A and B are shown apart, each in its own frame.
Chain A
Amino acid sequence: MLRITGGKIYDPASGINGEIRTLYIEDGRFVASGEGGRTIDAAGMIVFPGGVDVHTHVAGGAINFARAMTPEDHRRTQAFIRSQTRRSGLGGMAPTTFATGYLYAGMGFTTVNEAAVPVLSARHTHEELSDIPIVDKSSLVLMANNELLLDQLDAGEYERARSILAWYIRAAGSWGIKAVNPGGVAAWKWGGNAGQLTETVDGFRHVTPGTIVASLARMCHDLNLPHPLHLHCNNLGAPGNVSTTLETLRHLEGHRAHIAHSQYHAYGGDDWDTMRSATSDLADWFNTHDNLTTDAGAVLFGDTVTITADGPWQHLLYRLTGRKWGNLDVENETGCGIVPYTYRPGHLVNAVQWAAGLELLLLIEDPWKVFLSTDHPNGGCFWRYPEILELLMCADYRQECLRQLPDRIRSRILLPEIDREYSLYDVATAMSAGPAQALGLPRKGSLAVGCDADVVIYEEDDNIRRMFSHPRYVIKSGEIVIEDGDIRETPDGREFLVQPHCDPDTETFIRPLFEDCYTMSFDNYPVEPHRIPRAEIHHRPASP
């Protein structure tokens, strides 16, 4: 039994906004009452549900490629020194697995969603996730460029495609599906891209990015997945891409979806010189449509490494920066590109990106629709989230930062005119309750009885950044993992898997197609769920 008394409780999922209540924890969950055990006196403190990161890249082939490419960053960053109970690790742009767990927990986050997993290397991703301590995890499998699936869509075989999708989700041990640049990564296999939603994808007869998006969104619903389609739209990062994004959203009408890192998809202008923020167009859409959620993909100035399955974009970025470039195409499924990048306040494009991320977080009125993210590590590292919170909560500080940007930026952004400030309740929604609900994660993002006892307790502080960077206590599944800045315990987290209904003959259908175009044995391909440590498997019957 653990009791937390006297703290101001922020639990948006239960509508509790700063009331002083007592929390009771037993066997890793919240309970209604109890006696004995330890009591944390949280008087004068703020109590949030543990943070949930809806979109991050912390494990798998791509981030591991990025680690190999950035030893110079590992050397200048914070290093965790081993103890008898704690492993060593390095923070920075692409933190090592153990450090990832320590850094997330140290900031009060207790659940993370790895947003891009190829089936072919899913085994690797799960092995890596199991080496991330403390936090619970889920992952999304990459699907919008899978050739077996696209072939079926091309042939108009929607139901067959859906069975294949269900089979792949089970094979990858995933929680949902992620679509990256639908059709574009498949075209990149020949050095091409897909920019128009209605144009046929290279190498196919009928299928277009638009049909891929709409079909996948429908399949997520049909398969009764806990998380809707998680979509990285076409034309990421390109000036004027807001038209593509809005067209994509039109294709999604009638379906639920989560739009990933929408900052990168909210630009106006015609080229790099005229690029401007077009976040108001996008925010208007979100404000008037309830089928969608999004995360900001906010940008912070400084060094980072960009990682995405969007291979063609990364090739462009490499040619723009002339810096290192990693690319890894994954047979029949997807690809990934890695380019180290520095966001500079004096650089007009970067300044627009910085403003656009904040604008979306501020212009989308309902914090249940837009969540905190930097698309770690693309826009900035996850451990810099407190900097974004400070920008959201203090309009004065925002204005101060704006003054340091070039003057000519003002005509291209909306941020100077926005005076909204996030309340603590808004923050608790955008950082925990909202993403947990969007992900459909059971028992996360709430302090209600029966939920997982993931709690973060802050000492009230006028310095917002300091307050959110250094919680006084972090409790994971009822265990105090961080206290006064010290890592006390490093328990292993769980992993959430979903197993949708899958027609029994799917495997027989896929096998010969697989053997024709893959290079590993079909029987070795699916990840065996029993080899995922601490997996929590959720079976889903098909939607009626």
Chain B
Amino acid sequence: MIRLTLKRPPAVPLEAEVLSPSLLAGLSHTEICGLHLYHGKRRMRVDEFFDVEGERSSTVDITGDLRRVRWLGRGMTDGTLTIHGSAGMHLGARMKGGRIEVFGNADDWVGAEMTNGLVRIHGHAGGQIGGAYRGSLRGMKNGTIIVEGTAGLEVGLRMRRGTIVIGGRVRDFCGLQMKGGTIILLDGAEIRTGAWMNRGTILSLRSLKLLPTFRFACYDNPTFIGVHARFLKPLGIRLPHAPTEGSWARYCGDFCVPGKGEIFIWHPAAAPEPAVSEL
């Protein structure tokens, strides 16, 4: 195990793309200490900002107030990165595999353009989770991102495949221009969910205010939701799907694109009337 402890909070953003388990795995203690970070425009050594313990391991623990530390776990292919504290922007961006866990919050662009792997944030996260960088046609292509708290704007922006689960409330434009994959909202979202989506699926356990360019299709209990539920169960997330528990209202859109996306909104069986506004 490699343990890094932040010695002092950076005054300006600290770009730390080298702090990725797959990159550190083959390095000695001295080599890790000598890797380069960028504190603003100044090139610094890792040991100027971090106490470094251990070497040659793909299990990496980082501790401290890392809100200004960006690009942690960028492009990692395997190993485990655990963060005790809050992480800065671009956490796990373009990652290809492995696992990131944050005991704290994360900022914007978590898992942006990732192709595989698992990211789990126990606190809140920012916007553009699993998203495409500006101008790009594709966001995340595979993998899983779980945020237990709330999330910001444009979650899953132009994502292609993979799964995003958000435990708390999500802000506007969730699933913007989605082209595939699944977003699961355990506590609903604000407005414009699924805007301009082409394909892909958004599941919400709470009512959603949908855009006028989505149309109600039917009530359904599709089997693929059961598959998602089984996949999420070991991760501690319960997704109702049995017909005895209720049913899903299926909406299609976004017809202004025009798209073949779908949004499912859960209706528990107990409620005789749909407890959602279907606009």
Q: Chain A residues near B136 (CB, 8 Å)?
A: 72, 75
Residue of A nearest to B137 (CB): A72
B135 at the interface (CB under 8 A from A): yes
Q: How far is the CA of A69 from the CA of B137 in the complex (A)?
A: 12
- Decide yes or no whether B134 CB sits under 8 A from chain A: yes
B133 at the interface (CB under 8 A from A): yes
B15 to chain A: closest CB distance in Å? 15
- CB contacts (< 8 Å) of B135 on chain A: these are 69-73
Assembly CA distance A70 to B136 (angstroms): 8
Interface size on A, residues (CB 8 A): 7
Contact with B along A68-90 (1 / 0, CB 8 A): 01111101000000000000000
A75 vs B136: C-alpha distance when bound (angstroms): 10
- Cα–Cα, bound, A70→B134 (Å): 9
**A residues less than 8 Å from B137 (CB atoms):** 72, 323
| Nearest-Cβ distance from residue A92 to partner chain B, whole angstroms | 12
Kindly name the residue among B134, B135, B136 whose own CB sees the greatest number of chain A CB atoms within 10 A: B135
Cα A232 to Cα B134 with chains together (Å): 34
Measured as residues with beta carbon below 8 angstroms from the partner, the interface class of chain B is under 10
User: How far does the alpha carbon of A71 sit from the alpha carbon of B136 in the complex, in Å?
Assistant: 8
Interface string of B190-220 (1 = CB under 8 A from A): 0000000000000000000000000000000
Among A72, A73, A75, A323, max chain B CB count under 10 A is at A72
Q: Looking across the interface, which residue of chain A has its beta carbon closest to that of B257?
A: A322
Chain B residue with Cβ nearest A70:
B135
Write out the residue numbers on chain B whose beta carbons fall within 8 Å of the beta carbon of A71. 133-135
Q: How far is the CB of B229 from chain A (nearest CB, A)?
A: 35
Per-residue CB contact flags for chain B residues 2-42 toward chain A (1 = under 8 Å, else 0) read 00000000000000000000000000000000000000000
A73 to B135, CA, bound (A): 8
Within the assembled complex, what's the spacing in Å between the Cα atoms of A72 and B135? 5
* B199 CB → nearest A CB, Å: 14
Q: Which residues on A sit within 8 Å (CB–CB) of B134?
A: 71-72
Distance, CA A72 to CA B134, complexed state (A): 7
Residues of A contacting B133 in the complex (Cβ-Cβ under 8 angstroms): 71-72, 75
Chain B minimum-CB-distance residue to A324: B135
Residues 135-146 of chain B, each 1 if its beta carbon lies under 8 Å from chain A, else 0? 111000000000
Chain B residues with Cβ below 8 Å from A323 are: 137
Q: How far is the CB of B74 from chain A (nearest CB, A)?
A: 13
Give A69 to B136 CA distance when docked, in angstroms.
10
- Nearest-CB distance from B146 to chain A (Å)? 27
CB distance from A45 to the nearest CB of B (A): 38
Closest to A323 in B: B137
CA distance A72 to B133 in the complex (A): 7
Contact code string B153-165 (vs A, CB < 8 Å = 1, else 0): 0000000000000
Closest chain B CB from A252 CB (angstroms) = 41
Whole-angstrom CA separation of A72 from B138 in the bound complex: 10
* Contacting residues, chain B, for A72 (C-beta < 8 A): 133-137
**Interface flags, A315-333, vs B, CB<8A=1, else 0:** 0000000010000000000
Give, as a whole number of angstroms, the nearest-CB distance from A319 to chain B.
15
Bound Cα distance from A71 to B137, whole angstroms: 11
- The residue on B at minimum CB distance from A75 is B133
- B136 closest partner in A (C-beta): A72
Interface string of A296-339 (1 = CB under 8 A from B): 00000000000000000000000000010000000000000000
Which B residues lie within 8 Å of A73 (CB)? 135
B140-182 interface with A by 8 A CB criterion: none
Q: Please, how many angstroms separate the alpha-carbon atoms of A279 and B137 in the complex?
A: 35
What's the Cα separation between A260 and B252 when bound, in Å? 48
CB distance from B141 to the nearest CB of A (A): 15
Using CB atoms, name the residue of chain A closest to B134. Answer: A71
**Which residues of the other chain, B, contact A69 by a CB distance below 8 angstroms?**
135
A83 smallest CB distance to B (angstroms):
14
Residue of B nearest to A73 (CB): B135
Cα distance A75–B134 in the bound complex, in angstroms = 10
A71 to B134, CA, bound (A): 7
- Distance between Cα atoms of A336 and B78 in the complex (Å): 47
Chain B residues in 8 Å Cβ range of A70: 135
A302 to chain B, nearest CB (A): 15
* A75 CA to B133 CA, complexed, in Å: 10
A10-47 contact mask (Cβ, 8 Å, vs B): 1 or 0: 00000000000000000000000000000000000000
B195 CB, nearest partner CB in chain A, Å? 17
Bound CA–CA A67/B120 (angstroms): 36
Nearest chain A CB to B260 CB, angstrom units: 14
Give a binary string over B32-75; 1 marks a CB under 8 Å from any A CB, 0 the rest. 00000000000000000000000000000000000000000000
- Shortest CB-to-CB span from B87 to chain A, Å, is 22
- Per-residue 0/1 for A348-382: is the Cβ within 8 Å of any B Cβ (1 yes, 0 no)? 00000000000000000000000000000000000
Q: How far is the CA of A75 from the CA of B94 in the complex (A)?
A: 13
Give Cα A72 to B136, complex, Å: 5
Contacts of A75 in B (CB 8 A): 133, 136
* Smallest CB separation, A57 vs chain B (Å): 20
Roughly how many angstroms separate A71 CA and B133 CA in the complex, as a whole number? Answer: 9
Kindly identify, within residues 149 to 187 of chain A, every residue whose CB is under 8 Å from any CB belonging to chain B.
Answer: none
Docked pose: A69 CA to B135 CA in angstroms: 7
Chain A proximity mask over B107-137: 1 for CB below 8 Å, otherwise 0: 0000000000000000000000000011111
Looking at the assembled complex, report how far the CB atom of A179 sits from the nearest CB atom of chain B, in whole angstroms. 33
Across the interface, name the chain B residue whose C-beta is closest to A68. B135
Interface string of A46-74 (1 = CB under 8 A from B): 00000000000000000000000111110
Closest to A71 in B: B135
A507 to B56, CA, bound (A): 77
In the complex, residue of chain B having the shortest beta-carbon distance to the beta carbon of A69 = B135
Q: Chain B nearest CB: distance from A326 CB in Å?
A: 13
Q: In the complex, A70 Cα to B135 Cα: how many Å? A: 6
CA distance A357 to B137 in the complex (A): 29
- What's the minimum C-beta distance from A30 to chain B, rounded to whole angstroms? 44
User: What is the CA–CA distance of A72 and B131 in the complex, to the nearest angstrom?
Assistant: 13
Provide the bound-state CA to CA distance between A69 and B134, in Å: 10
| Bound: A75/B112 CA distance, A | 14
Q: How many angstroms from the CA of A323 to the CA of B137 in the assembled complex? A: 9
Q: How many angstroms between the C-alpha atoms of A449 and B136 in the bound complex? A: 51
- For A74, the closest partner residue in chain B by CB is B135
Closest chain-A Cβ to B187's Cβ sits at a distance in Å of: 32
| Nearest-Cβ distance from residue A487 to partner chain B, whole angstroms | 22
Task: Determine the residue in chain A with the shortest Cβ distance to B138.
Answer: A72
Q: Shortest Cβ distance from B250 into chain A, in angstroms?
A: 26
A323 to B138, CA, bound (A): 13
A66 to chain B, nearest CB (A): 12
CA distance A72 to B139 in the complex (A): 12
**A73 to B133 Cα, complex, angstroms:** 11
Instruction: State how many angstroms separate the Cβ of B140 from the closest Cβ of chain A.
Output: 15
Q: How far is the CA of A72 from the CA of B137 in the complex (A)?
A: 8
Closest CB-CB distance, B176 to chain A, in whole Å? Answer: 16
On B, residues with C-beta under 8 Å from A are 133-137
Known: A69-B135, A72-B135, A72-B137. 11 other contacts (CB 8 A): A70-B135, A71-B133, A71-B134, A71-B135, A72-B133, A72-B134, A72-B136, A73-B135, A75-B133, A75-B136, A323-B137
Enumerate 14 A-B pairs (CB-CB under 8 Å) in ascending A order.
A69-B135, A70-B135, A71-B133, A71-B134, A71-B135, A72-B133, A72-B134, A72-B135, A72-B136, A72-B137, A73-B135, A75-B133, A75-B136, A323-B137
**Interface residue ranges, A against B (CB under 8 Å):** 69-73, 75, 323
List the 10 shortest-distance A-B pairs measured between CB atoms, nearest first: A71-B135, A72-B135, A72-B136, A71-B134, A70-B135, A75-B133, A72-B133, A72-B137, A69-B135, A72-B134
